[in-house]
Amino acid sequence: MDVSVIIINYKSAELTVNCISSIKKFTQDINYEVVVVDNDSQDASESIIKSVHPEIVWVASKYNSGFSRGNNQGISVAQGDYFLLLNADTLLFDNAIFKAWQLLKSQPEVSVIGGIQVTADLVKMPYFRNRNEFLKFLIIAPNSFNKYLDKLFPEPQFQDPNQSELCCGAFMLIARKTVEKVGKMDEDFFMYAEDFEWAGRLRKAGKICCSEDIKFIHLEKDSPFRRTNISPINRFGTQMQVSNLLWIRKEYGIGFYLLLILHYVTLAIFFYLWKISVNISKLRNPFSELRSQKIFALKTLVFLKFFWKTIFKIKGFYKIKPSDNIDLIFR
């Protein structure tokens, strides 16, 4: 078996069916299997998907195991020499799997091949290709500070135009031998940043490349953990940022993690004081129009719930409780 395509399904049967259909339609000249890991959807996903694609390998998780653990379950039963991690909310429109497989086989210095995500209209979607670009995003500061952040976090330069530091987890092709060398995905992560953490280990095994010749449609299905009420201040989803901070602790150590936590706690207080001062200066109720401030403060409190666990890198499942899903509460 050349490639095992691993897809995580969670209450997304129609998307998964369409994704597999696109694989069948466009994938040629390669032997592959499709492994679907169902994260305890508790619906008719299995019967719906198998009625259209009976040949798939079905793995039923006993709970919503998230992205890392779900993919690791898929890897454990996969028969291929290569693993393609593919989101359920993606569609192929050409022979992308074969092209990625050929590239990875022909370049032993490369540890993983990723694709470029595009919209249904084939417009390229943004994605962080390097760590410093993402670190600047984590820091909330006025635009006038951008020039200082650019100097503090310069973007890396590579001779290979396809080389990156990070790779989009929605489409990642990795050789079995590479996974055996660097290990599977980190199961502390529930959702988000697990691909960043894995990339850190994959970089030690070889280059990460995201080829401009390999594109896939990313539909980005609705998720209860997706960001809402997005603004320059409230730019983070709660679960997303819990995972991001865990990655920071693992990748950069305790110092940078503490600086970011201090940054967010200080801002949570400052935003309240600033808005109250503005209200007073305009002769309004001092405590009116504080919704954005409240959202940011509540998210910061959720981050702090994981503080000691993150500080000491305690193994476990870094998944927020439904009551801590501030994005869903304020949707």
- Give me the tens of pLDDT residue by residue for the chain, a chain 331 residues long: 999 999 999 999 999 999 999 999 999 999 999 999 999 999 999 999 999 999 999 999 999 999 999 999 999 999 999 999 999 999 999 999 999 999 999 999 999 999 999 999 999 998 899 999 999 999 999 889 999 999 999 999 999 999 999 999 999 999 999 999 999 999 999 999 999 999 999 999 999 999 999 999 999 765 555 555 667 777 889 999 999 999 999 999 999 999 999 999 999 999 999 999 999 999 999 999 999 999 999 999 999 999 999 999 999 999 999 999 998 888 7
pLDDT given for residue 223 in this prediction: 55
pLDDT given for residue 220 in this prediction: 74
Distance of CA 150 to the CA centre of its chain: 24
* CA proximity to 11, closest of 188, 192, 209, 225: 225
Name the DSSP class of 120: T
pLDDT given for residue 82 in this prediction: 98
* CA proximity to 5, closest of 96, 98, 84, 92: 84
Give percent helix, percent strand, percent coil of the chain, each to the nearest 5. 45, 15, 35
Q: In the chain, what are the domains?
A: 3-127+166-218 (3.90.550.10), 238-329 (no CATH)
Q: How far apart are CA 99 and CA 162, in angstroms?
A: 14
pLDDT given for residue 222 in this prediction: 57
Contact 226, 192 (CB under 8 A): no
Residue with tokens 């590479």: 178
pLDDT given for residue 284 in this prediction: 93
Q: Which helix (H) or strand (E) holds 67?
A: helix 66-77
Q: How far apart are CA 85 and CA 136, in angstroms?
A: 27
Burial (0-12, 13-18, 19+ Cβ within 10 Å), 131: buried
Three-class SS of residue 8? strand
- List Cα–Cα distances, 228 to 113, 218, 244, in angstroms: 31, 19, 17
pLDDT given for residue 226 in this prediction: 57
Q: How far apart are CA 224 and CA 239, in angstroms?
A: 10
Strand extents, DSSP E, the chain: 3-9, 32-38, 57-60, 82-86, 90-91, 110-118, 163-164, 171-175, 207-218
pLDDT given for residue 230 in this prediction: 65
Residue with tokens 């991690």: 85
Burial (0-12, 13-18, 19+ Cβ within 10 Å), 172: buried
**Which residues are registered as beta bridge partners of 3?**
32, 82
pLDDT given for residue 225 in this prediction: 52
CB atoms within 10 A of CB 322: 8
* CA proximity to 59, closest of 37, 43, 75, 78: 37
Q: How far apart are CA 110 and CA 172, in angstroms?
A: 12
